[in-house]
Protein backbone atom coordinates (compact mmCIF):
# COMPACT_ATOMS: atom_id res chain seq x y z
CA UNK A 1 0.00 0.00 0.00
CA UNK A 2 1.33 3.44 -0.97
CA UNK A 3 2.15 5.98 1.70
CA UNK A 4 -0.04 9.05 1.96
CA UNK A 5 1.06 12.68 1.89
CA UNK A 6 -0.67 16.04 2.11
CA UNK A 7 -1.56 17.77 -1.17
CA UNK A 8 -2.90 21.29 -1.52
CA UNK A 9 -4.17 22.90 -4.71
CA UNK A 10 -4.49 26.64 -4.31
CA UNK A 11 -5.67 29.28 -6.77
CA UNK A 12 -5.89 33.04 -6.17
CA UNK A 13 -9.64 32.63 -5.71
CA UNK A 14 -9.62 29.81 -3.16
CA UNK A 15 -8.18 26.63 -1.73
CA UNK A 16 -9.54 23.97 -4.10
CA UNK A 17 -8.18 20.92 -2.31
CA UNK A 18 -6.32 20.03 0.87
CA UNK A 19 -6.25 16.34 1.70
CA UNK A 20 -4.18 13.22 2.12
CA UNK A 21 -3.40 11.55 -1.21
CA UNK A 22 -1.35 8.64 -2.53
CA UNK A 23 -0.23 10.33 -5.76
CA UNK A 24 -0.59 13.45 -7.83
CA UNK A 25 0.31 13.82 -11.51
CA UNK A 26 1.20 17.42 -12.36
CA UNK A 27 1.87 19.11 -15.72
CA UNK A 28 5.36 20.41 -14.95
CA UNK A 29 6.91 22.67 -17.57
CA UNK A 30 9.59 20.06 -18.31
CA UNK A 31 7.07 17.22 -18.57
CA UNK A 32 4.42 15.37 -16.61
CA UNK A 33 5.53 14.47 -13.09
CA UNK A 34 4.11 11.92 -10.66
CA UNK A 35 4.49 12.98 -7.05
CA UNK A 36 4.29 10.40 -4.27
CA UNK A 37 5.16 10.34 -0.56
CA UNK A 38 8.87 10.78 0.20
CA UNK A 39 9.52 12.57 -3.11
CA UNK A 40 12.80 14.45 -3.29
CA UNK A 41 12.42 18.17 -2.53
CA UNK A 42 11.65 19.92 -5.80
CA UNK A 43 10.23 23.20 -6.99
CA UNK A 44 8.89 23.35 -10.54
CA UNK A 45 6.83 25.60 -12.76
CA UNK A 46 3.51 24.33 -14.06
CA UNK A 47 2.15 24.69 -17.59
CA UNK A 48 -1.53 24.60 -18.53
CA UNK A 49 -2.72 21.04 -18.13
CA UNK A 50 -4.51 18.47 -16.03
CA UNK A 51 -3.62 17.64 -12.44
CA UNK A 52 -4.76 14.12 -11.53
CA UNK A 53 -5.19 13.45 -7.82
CA UNK A 54 -5.53 9.98 -6.31
CA UNK A 55 -7.00 10.35 -2.82
CA UNK A 56 -6.02 8.17 0.12
CA UNK A 57 -9.46 6.52 -0.16
CA UNK A 58 -8.72 5.51 -3.78
CA UNK A 59 -10.95 8.01 -5.57
CA UNK A 60 -9.53 10.06 -8.44
CA UNK A 61 -10.27 13.70 -9.34
CA UNK A 62 -8.88 15.78 -12.20
CA UNK A 63 -8.35 19.55 -12.18
CA UNK A 64 -7.38 21.91 -14.99
CA UNK A 65 -4.64 24.40 -14.12
CA UNK A 66 -3.48 27.36 -16.18
CA UNK A 67 0.10 27.68 -15.03
CA UNK A 68 1.71 28.23 -11.65
CA UNK A 69 4.33 26.40 -9.62
CA UNK A 70 4.60 23.42 -7.31
CA UNK A 71 6.61 23.03 -4.12
CA UNK A 72 7.27 19.35 -3.44
CA UNK A 73 8.63 17.98 -0.16
CA UNK A 74 8.91 14.39 1.12
CA UNK A 75 5.86 15.04 3.34
CA UNK A 76 3.66 16.98 0.93
CA UNK A 77 3.08 18.98 -2.21
CA UNK A 78 1.57 22.43 -2.67
CA UNK A 79 0.54 23.53 -6.15
CA UNK A 80 -0.07 27.27 -6.46
CA UNK A 81 -2.04 27.68 -9.67
CA UNK A 82 -2.57 30.90 -11.59
CA UNK A 83 -6.10 29.58 -12.09
CA UNK A 84 -7.64 26.15 -11.51
CA UNK A 85 -10.98 24.41 -11.85
CA UNK A 86 -12.37 20.87 -11.62
CA UNK A 87 -12.33 19.38 -15.14
CA UNK A 88 -16.11 18.81 -15.19
CA UNK A 89 -16.72 22.47 -14.32
CA UNK A 90 -14.71 23.83 -17.27
CA UNK A 91 -16.83 24.66 -20.29
CA UNK A 92 -15.65 24.63 -23.88
CA UNK A 93 -16.66 28.30 -24.08
CA UNK A 94 -14.33 29.23 -21.21
CA UNK A 95 -11.38 27.58 -22.96
CA UNK A 96 -12.24 29.40 -26.19
CA UNK A 97 -12.43 32.72 -24.31
CA UNK A 98 -8.99 32.12 -22.73
CA UNK A 99 -7.48 31.35 -26.15
CA UNK A 100 -9.08 34.44 -27.71
CA UNK A 101 -7.83 36.65 -24.85
CA UNK A 102 -4.27 35.38 -25.37
CA UNK A 103 -4.55 36.05 -29.12
CA UNK A 104 -5.65 39.64 -28.42
CA UNK A 105 -2.73 40.04 -26.05
CA UNK A 106 -0.32 38.97 -28.83
CA UNK A 107 -1.60 41.83 -30.98
CA UNK A 108 -0.54 44.31 -28.27
CA UNK A 109 2.75 42.59 -27.40
CA UNK A 110 5.80 44.71 -28.18
CA UNK A 111 8.66 42.37 -27.35
CA UNK A 112 9.39 39.26 -29.39
CA UNK A 113 9.99 37.21 -26.23
CA UNK A 114 6.55 38.10 -24.87
CA UNK A 115 4.91 37.21 -28.20
CA UNK A 116 6.76 33.92 -28.27
CA UNK A 117 5.61 33.01 -24.75
CA UNK A 118 2.01 33.89 -25.65
CA UNK A 119 2.17 31.78 -28.82
CA UNK A 120 3.42 28.84 -26.77
CA UNK A 121 0.67 29.44 -24.18
CA UNK A 122 -1.98 29.44 -26.95
CA UNK A 123 -0.54 26.18 -28.29
CA UNK A 124 -0.79 24.60 -24.82
CA UNK A 125 -4.36 25.85 -24.31
CA UNK A 126 -5.41 24.57 -27.75
CA UNK A 127 -3.95 21.15 -26.97
CA UNK A 128 -5.63 21.14 -23.56
CA UNK A 129 -8.95 22.09 -25.14
CA UNK A 130 -8.66 19.07 -27.45
CA UNK A 131 -7.95 16.78 -24.50
CA UNK A 132 -10.82 18.07 -22.38
CA UNK A 133 -13.41 18.56 -25.13
CA UNK A 134 -12.57 16.15 -27.95
CA UNK A 135 -14.87 16.65 -30.95
pTM comes to 0.86
Residues 90-103 pLDDT 10s: 888 888 888 898 88
Residues 35-50 pLDDT 10s: 999 999 999 999 999 9
SS3 for the chain is: CCCCEEEEEECCCCEEEEEEEEEEEEEECCEEEEEECCCCCEEEEEEEEEEEEEECCCCEEEEEEEEEEEEEECCEEEEEECCEEEHHHCCHHHHHHHHHHHHHHHHHCCCHHHHHHHHHHHHHHHHHHHHHCCC
Amino acid sequence: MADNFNFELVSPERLLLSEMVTEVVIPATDGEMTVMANHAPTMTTIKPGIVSVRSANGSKQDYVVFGGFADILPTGCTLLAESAVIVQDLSKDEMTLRIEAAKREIEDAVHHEHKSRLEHYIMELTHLQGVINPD
